[in-house]
């Protein structure tokens, strides 16, 4: 399978714990995006990488959120001190020169 | 924040009927894209229409774009049960390099 993959698919955690999600983009894609989607809403942009450089961050990305793409390949999104409001689907997408983004299956986070 | 609204929020039709969804947005765009999302899963790209295009077709899909009204519509002809999903429009403004999604239309196609 050469599509975008995300791990884990589901994560249940207790409030206050840290969680980390991983995204593996399509191999030749240099641009990688993170989005967050809550129930009944469309995805909302969180952050964007071109190669290893993080070029844009949304105001939604509070200080508790950090994203990395150390070698311009896979990316991680970490949420520290999780809150119940962080419960959502976290989606990763990648693209190259096209404006079309290819999405992974998402990681569903539930904070108890 | 969401770029705009989609209308209707939910649509239920019989198999074989056509389904039309509308999307409105707020700012100037480079292109507008439509995505499908099956329940609780990732998004699948359907079609992209550039700001200088007015209509585009792909299989059973027809998309129109009216930049003067900042609106787009997606028509699915001869719908199938497998078309049951949520449909989102998303705008690309270029400068931000990100997609800004609408609120989505939930389509249910019944046998």
Write the pLDDT tens digit of every residue in A3-58. Answer: 999 999 999 999 999 999 999 999 989 999 999 999 989 999 999 999 999 999 99
Across the interface, whether the CB atoms of A41 and B104 are under 8 A apart is answered yes
pLDDT at B2 over 60: no
Residues of B in contact with A105 (CB under 8 A): 41-42
Binned at pLDDT 50, 70 and 90, residue B108 comes out as very high
Q: What is the pLDDT of residues A66-104, one digit of tens each?
A: 999 998 899 999 999 999 999 999 999 999 877 889 999
Q: What pLDDT, on the 0 to 100 scale, is given for residue B3?
A: 62
Q: Is A75 left (phi over 0), alpha (psi -120 to 50) or beta?
A: beta
The rounded percent of chain B whose pLDDT value lies above 70 is 95
- State residue A71's pLDDT score: 87
First to last CA, chain A: 33
Q: Shortest CA distance to A77 belongs to which of A65, A91, A85, A93?
A: A65
Q: pLDDT digits over B34-59, tens only?
A: 999 998 788 999 999 999 999 999 99
Q: Are the beta carbons of B104 and A33 separated by less than 8 Å?
A: no
pLDDT digits (tens, 9 = 90+) for B31-40: 999 999 998 7
Cβ contact A100–B45 (<8 Å): yes
Chain B residues touching residue A5 (CB < 8 angstroms): none
Q: How far is B56 from chain A (nearest CA, A)?
A: 15
CB proximity A49 to B under 8 Å = no
| Residue A102 at interface with chain B, using a CB cutoff of 8 Å | yes
To the nearest whole number, what is the mean pLDDT of chain B? 92
Nearest to A99 among B92, B100, B101 (CB): B92
Q: Do B2 and A42 touch (CB under 8 A)?
A: yes
Q: What is the mean pLDDT of residues B21-33?
A: 93
Long-range contacts of B56-62 (CB under 8 A, 24+ apart): B61/B34
User: What pLDDT score does A61 carry?
Assistant: 86
pLDDT of residue B96: 59
The two structure tokens encoding residue B28 = 């100037």
Q: Cα angle at B107 between B82 and B52, to 5 degrees?
A: 100
Residue-level pLDDT at B95: 67
Cβ distance A26 to A94 under 8 Å? yes
């Amino acid at each position: 399978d050469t599509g975008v993959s995300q791990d884990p698919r589901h994560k249940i955690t207790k409030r206050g714990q840290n969680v980390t999600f991983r995204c593996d983009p399509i191999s030749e894609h240099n641009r990688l995006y993170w989005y967050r989607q809550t129930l009944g809403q469309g995805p909302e942009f969180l952050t964007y990488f071109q190669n290893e450089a993080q070029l844009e961050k949304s105001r939604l990305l509070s200080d508790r959120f950090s994203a990395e793409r150390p070698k311009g390949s896979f990316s991680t999104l970490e949420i520290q001190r999780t809150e119940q409001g962080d419960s959502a689907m976290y989606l990763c997408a990648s693209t190259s020169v096209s404006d079309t983004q290819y999405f992974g299956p998402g990681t569903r986070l539930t904070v108890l | 924040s969401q770029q705009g609204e989609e209308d209707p929020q939910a649509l239920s039709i019989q198999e074989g009927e056509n389904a039309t969804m509308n999307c409105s947005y707020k700012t100037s765009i480079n292109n507008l894209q439509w995505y499908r999302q099956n329940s609780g899963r990732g998004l699948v790209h359907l079609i992209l229409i550039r700001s200088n295009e007015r209509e585009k077709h792909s299989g059973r899909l027809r998309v129109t774009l009216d930049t003067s009204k900042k609106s787009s519509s997606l028509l699915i002809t001869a719908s199938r049960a497998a078309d049951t999903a949520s449909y989102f429009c998303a705008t690309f403004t270029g400068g931000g390099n990100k997609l800004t999604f609408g609120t989505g239309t939930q389509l249910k196609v019944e046998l």
